[in-house]
Chain A
Amino acid sequence: MSRIPVSALLGLVLTGGFFLVAIFAQWIAPYKMDELVGGVWDPMSAKHLLGTDSIGRDLLTRMIYGAQVTIFIATCATILSFVTGSVLGFLAATAGGWVDLALSRFVDLVMAIPSLILALVVLTAVDVSVFTLIVVMGLLDSTRVFRLSRAVAVDITVMDYVEAARLRGEGTSWVIFHEILPNALSPLVAELGLRFIFAVLFISTLSFLGLGVQPPLADWGGLVKENSAGLVYGIPAALAPAMAIAALAISVNLVADWVLSRTSSLKGGRGA
């Protein structure tokens, strides 16, 4: 089999690390999430590896719990957007006719408004909770998954082998699961990574604006907001969660890039 390039390997290791931290946050974190353990913005020390935050909580602890919140919300939103988007996308591609038309036009409409703006409008009207955030983010982003999976499926349905299956008399479910899905999987897997990054950036941005995860819970975006006031006085506490967001996004990006290049080389691959 093929060798994994260094960049992808680095991405895989870092991504894996972030997920492990998120899953085992309760056991890894040195202090309790809400415990006041020191002064306001204490500098880094052996006791507090990253110092303390704006009201004296251990920043490393906050970061570890923040990882859990960020990754949990982003993962749930990605799963929701994928399930909704790909099911509807495949349905539109195979059903065609008015089903396709109605779904596609509606998605066009939603995508005509920037996601952040639409999310802000919706979040004005509903009560903000982890659940509503996941639903809003997942559904808004499912429009992109819908477009991709519909496009991929439409490309496949015009292939002669799908026509051959229809001529044989195969049913719709056989066509979807045996002919379309196996061929649509690799581009969708690559997209999964990109959607996850988008979800991480999205929830971080919302929380930073104060419209995402609400205190006392905090994700990385919220931590940046909590500590941003210190920056002007030269206290870099807000940069730690900011870097964490960037590091997670970059490492997933490296993996997604690799998957993407592998699937495209598969498409262009010549037979022996």
Chain B
Amino acid sequence: MHNVLDIKGLRIEATSYPPGEAPRNVVLVNNVSVAVQQGRVLGLIGESGAGKSTIGLSAMAYGRGGVRLTGGHILLNGREIREASAGDLRILRGREVTYVAQSAAAAFNPAKRLMEQVIEASLLHGVMGRAEAEARAVDLFDKLGLPDPANFGNRYPHQVSGGQLQRAMTAMALCPKPDLVIFDEPTTALDVTTQIDVLVAIKAAIRDTGVAALYITHDLAVVAQVADDILVLRGGKKVEYGPTDQIINHPQEDYTRALVSVRSIDHVEKTEAPAVLSVSGITARYRGTNFDVLKNVSVDLPAGQTLAIVGESGSGKSTLARVITGLLPAAKGDLTFAGRKLSPDLASRSKDDLREVQMIYQMADTAMNPRQTVGTIIGRPLEFYFGLKGEAKRQRIQELLDDIEMGAGFIDRFPAELSGGQKQRVCIARALAAKPKLIICDEVTSALDPLVADGILKLLLNLQARESVAYLFITHDLATVKAIADKIAVMYRGQVVRYGSKTDVLTPPFDDYTDLLLSSVPEMQIGWLEKVLAGRKMESAGN
């Protein structure tokens, strides 16, 4: 078996233009060596900024937006391509190496039919004639499980679903019979239940065509299902490189160990307690529509505990949060909070009602005013609800910063100067400042890298133990649910389909939807993918 791709001592640099400062040079990738043999899959894994996509694209000698390949060797089928001319690169791009992007929806040209785009590279490079290429495309559509493969190519990109587009992009990459395919987070943008189907399709297609592949992802559990070897990256440098079995089961480095054990917080559910929030018979719709986004939803949240609301996009879980906060008054049903009835409308709630229900958002970036300092952001609720001023306020801000493990040094910083995890911590501090009885957490960890997300979950658990605040935790990620929930409500199309204590909800027998959802969460286990398909009861919506 020869090496299709052989990267040696690769160094990649770029020029960054910080606003208001002189441009400076940054090293994105430093001294990375890796090889892919014919018919094998190499997983590239790391957090955002680890340089994994940059390395992936370097296999086509392509640099996005001013990225330069400044050192080392990139051997494709034994030929050095790092400094190849634009003309030479055009010959191998789309012929020897092809690319599958994270967002197929953006990567397809909206003005052209899918078939034209799928066979374009094959025709351009003279790999085959039009008839043969179209036949191969239909065959690939079929292999990838796309509906009505013979006519699928006649459609425009906006006429098919996201999961189907991702598969069509895989067909586009495989059509010209390349030697190497680069998959750049191909399932990240999809819903959990769809992700598995696409993953299975990609895996089968790689196996059937015998192509070599680079599989880039931030999710170790996903890459464990498809890769033969794994390269763990951090900050543009190699952390660990070896066969999948070794990385998953016998990691050598601390960082790899942390990645493997991520999502393994084991949370023991608390015993029953009186409800701080009761949602009963809530039905809600958005103004100007005649479709109920929530249908007769009833759940209880015990004081000082966590109720996880689980569901995919469109299940109505975020709408439930808007109803509880009063942003969207319910059409029917009641909210009882701390023994009193909560007005459905935000405007008619008392200041104490407002203070005792706080909210933390998915995107900490947009949840903080970029023109306010951390001190102002955390200080405002102190001033607004408790009338704290001057030194007393400053002292309380410092305590809160200590609570979120950040320290007083951050008090005068602006949000733009913080990392993703730090921003989310500041949002937590702002919520805590109001001394609430309930915090609504809307997908608070889903925009964060796994290790950072773990840190946030641990912090939330500690704070709950100390302040006995209740969380309504909205998420699509079951691993997170296992880590933090005491009670779980599974939502599907506006209804609660399963509800109870964590143990009850996660113990079989399951209803069809819960089964599908639970079986869609990749586990850190080789061979899990094959196992899970055998036992499924229901098809995902992406099909």
Direct contact of A and B (CB under 8 A): yes
Chain A interface residues (CB < 8 Å from chain B): 1-2, 159-161, 163-164, 166-170, 178-179, 182-183, 262, 265-266, 269-272
- Asked if A169 contacts B371 (CB within 8 A), the reply is no
A160 x B361 contact (CB < 8 A): yes
* Selected contact of B416 from candidates A164, A168, A271, CB within 8 Å: A271
Of the listed residues A160, A265, A272, the one surrounded by the most CB atoms of chain B closer than 10 A to its CB is A160
* B381 proximity list for chain A (CB < 8 A): 168
Instruction: Report A-chain residues with C-beta under 8 Å of the C-beta of B359.
Output: 164, 167
Q: Which of B14-65 contact A (CB under 8 A)?
A: 17-21
Chain B residues, Cβ within 8 Å of A269: 18-19, 416
Contact A169 B19, beta carbon cutoff 8 Å:
no
Residue B8 interfacial (CB < 8 Å): no
Which chain B positions have C-beta within 8 A of A166?
A: 327, 346
| Interface residue B354 (Cβ < 8 Å from any Cβ of A) | yes
Q: A2-B21, A269-B416, A272-B416 are in contact. Are A169 and B369 (CB under 8 A)?
A: no
Cβ of B370 and Cβ of A167 under 8 Å apart?
no
Q: Is the CB of B21 within 8 A of A164?
A: no
Please, which residue of chain B has its CB at the minimum distance from the CB of A169?
A: B354
Closest CB-CB distance, B472 to chain A, in whole Å?
Answer: 14
Q: Which residues of A contact B363 (CB under 8 A)?
A: 160
Contact B19 A167, beta carbon cutoff 8 Å: no
Shortest C-beta distance, A272 to chain B (Å), equals 5
Q: Is the CB of B367 within 8 A of A167?
A: no
Which residues of chain A come closer than 8 Å to B380, judged between CB atoms? Answer: 168
Q: Is B371 in contact with A183, judged by CB distance below 8 angstroms?
A: yes
B337-378 contact mask (Cβ, 8 Å, vs A): 1 or 0: 000000000100101001101110101001111111000000
A-B contact pairs, 26 of them (CB 8 A): A1-B20, A2-B21, A160-B361, A160-B363, A161-B367, A161-B368, A163-B327, A164-B359, A164-B367, A167-B346, A168-B354, A168-B380, A168-B381, A168-B384, A168-B434, A169-B349, A169-B354, A169-B384, A170-B384, A178-B369, A182-B371, A183-B371, A262-B19, A265-B17, A265-B19, A271-B415
Chain B interface residues (CB < 8 Å from chain A)? 17-21, 325-327, 346, 349, 351, 354-355, 357-359, 361, 363, 366-372, 380-381, 384, 415-419, 430, 434
Cα-based distance from A166 to B325 in the complex (angstroms): 10
CA of A179 to CA of B325, assembled, Å: 20
* Residues of chain A within 8 A of B367, CB atoms compared: 160-161, 164
CA distance A167 to B363 in the complex (A): 17
**Given A160-B363, A266-B19, CB of A167 within 8 Å of CB of B325:** yes
- Tell me whether A179 and B354 are in contact (CB under 8 A): no
| Distance from A153 Cβ to chain B, minimum over Cβ atoms (Å) | 14
Q: How many angstroms from the CA of A164 to the CA of B327 in the assembled complex?
A: 11
CB distance from B410 to the nearest CB of A (A): 12
State A214–B103 Cα separation when bound (angstroms): 62
CB-CB under 8 A from B358, the residues of chain A are: 167
CA separation between A272 and B26, bound complex, in Å? 13
Residues of B within 8 A of A1 (CB): 20
In the assembled complex, which residues on chain A have CB atoms less than 8 Å from the CB atom of B355? Answer: 169
Interface centre among A2, A166, A168 (most CB of B within 10 A): A168
Give the CA-CA distance A222 to B329 in the complex, in Å: 61
Residue of chain B at shortest CB distance from A266: B19
- Report how far A160 CA is from B368 CA in the complex, Å: 7
Task: Give the interface SS of chain A, mostly helix, strand, loop or mixed.
Answer: helix
- A-B contact number at CB 8 A: 65
Distance to closest chain A CB from B273 (angstroms) = 25
CA distance A266 to B17 in the complex (A): 11
Nearest to A170 among chain B residues (CB) is B384
A166 to B418, CA, bound (A): 24
In the complex, the chain A residue whose C-beta lies closest to that of B21 is A2
**Chain A: CB-nearest residue to B442:** A160
> What residues on A are CB-neighbors of B417 within 8 Å?
271-272
Q: Which residue of A lies closest to B350 (CB)?
A: A169
- Asked if A167 and B327 make an inter-chain contact with CB atoms under 8 angstroms apart, the answer reads yes
Contact call A271/B418, Cβ cutoff below 8 A: yes
Q: What is the CA–CA distance of A250 and B346 in the complex, to the nearest angstrom?
A: 51
Most buried by B among A163, A270, A271: A271
Asked whether, in the complex, the Cβ of B369 is within 8 Å of the Cβ of A179, the reply is: yes
Q: A270 — which chain B residues lie within 8 A by C-beta?
A: 18, 416
On whether A159 and B418 interact (CB within 8 A), knowing A169-B351, A170-B384, the answer reads no
User: Which residues of chain B come closer than 8 Å to A182, judged between CB atoms?
Assistant: 369, 371-372
Residues of A within 8 A of B416 (CB): 269-272
A183 to B415, CA, bound (A): 14
Q: For A179, list chain B residues within 8 Å (CB).
A: 369
Q: Which residues of A contact B419 (CB under 8 A)?
A: 271
Q: B220: shortest Cβ distance to chain A, in Å?
A: 26
Q: Chain A residues near B371: list those with CB within 8 A.
A: 182-183
| Given pairs A166-B346, A167-B359, 14 additional interface contacts (CB within 8 A) | A1-B20, A161-B369, A163-B327, A164-B359, A164-B361, A166-B327, A167-B346, A167-B354, A169-B384, A178-B369, A265-B17, A265-B20, A269-B18, A271-B415
A183 touches B369 (CB 8 A): yes
Give bound CA distance, A70 to B418, whole Å: 48
Q: Are A161 and B346 in contact (CB under 8 A)?
A: no
Q: Which residues of B contact A265 (CB under 8 A)?
A: 17, 19-20
Question: Is B384 a contact of A183 with CB atoms below 8 Å?
Answer: no
User: In the complex the two chains form, what is the Cα distance from A217 to B372 in whole Å?
Assistant: 49
Whole-angstrom distance from the CB of B15 to the nearest CB of chain A? 14
Contacts of B354 in A (CB 8 A): 167-169
Q: Which residues of A contact B415 (CB under 8 A)?
A: 271
Contacts of A272 in B (CB 8 A): 416-417
Chain A min CB distance to B289 (Å):
17
* Smallest CB gap from A185: residue in B: B371
B146 CB → nearest A CB, Å? 36
How far, in whole Å, are A170 and B355 apart by their CA atoms in the complex?
11
Of the listed residues A161, A170, A178, A179, the one surrounded by the most CB atoms of chain B closer than 10 A to its CB is A161
Q: How far is the CA of A128 from the CA of B116 in the complex (A)?
A: 64
B498 to chain A, nearest CB (A): 29
Query: Closest chain B residue to A160 by CB distance?
Result: B367
Rounded to whole Å, the gap between the CB of A67 and the closest CB of chain B is: 34
Q: Which residue of A lies closest to B380 (CB)?
A: A168
Knowing A164-B359, A168-B381, A169-B384, say if A183 contacts B370 (CB, 8 Å).
yes
Considering the chains assembled together, what is the distance between the CA atoms of A269 and B415 in angstroms?
12
Alpha-carbon distance A167/B415, docked complex (angstroms): 20
Task: Tell me the complex Cα distance, A178–B369, Å.
Answer: 9
In the assembled complex, the Cα of A146 lies from the Cα of B349 at a distance in Å of 33
| B372 proximity list for chain A (CB < 8 A) | 182
Instruction: Chain A residues near B19: list those with CB within 8 A.
Output: 2, 262, 265-266, 269
Cβ distance A94 to chain B, nearest Cβ, rounded Å: 14
**Which residue of chain A lies nearest to B353 when distances are taken between CB atoms in the complex?**
A169
When C-beta atoms are compared, the residue in chain A nearest to B427 turns out to be A164
The chain A residue with its CB closest to the CB of B415 is A271
- A163 CB to closest chain B CB (Å) equals 7
Contact of B366 among A2, A161, A170, A178 (CB under 8 A): A161
Among A2, A159, A167, which residue has its beta carbon within 8 angstroms of that of B20? A2
CA distance A31 to B167 in the complex (A): 81
Q: Is the CB of B366 within 8 A of A159?
A: yes
Residues of B with C-beta under 8 A to A167: 325-327, 346, 354, 357-359
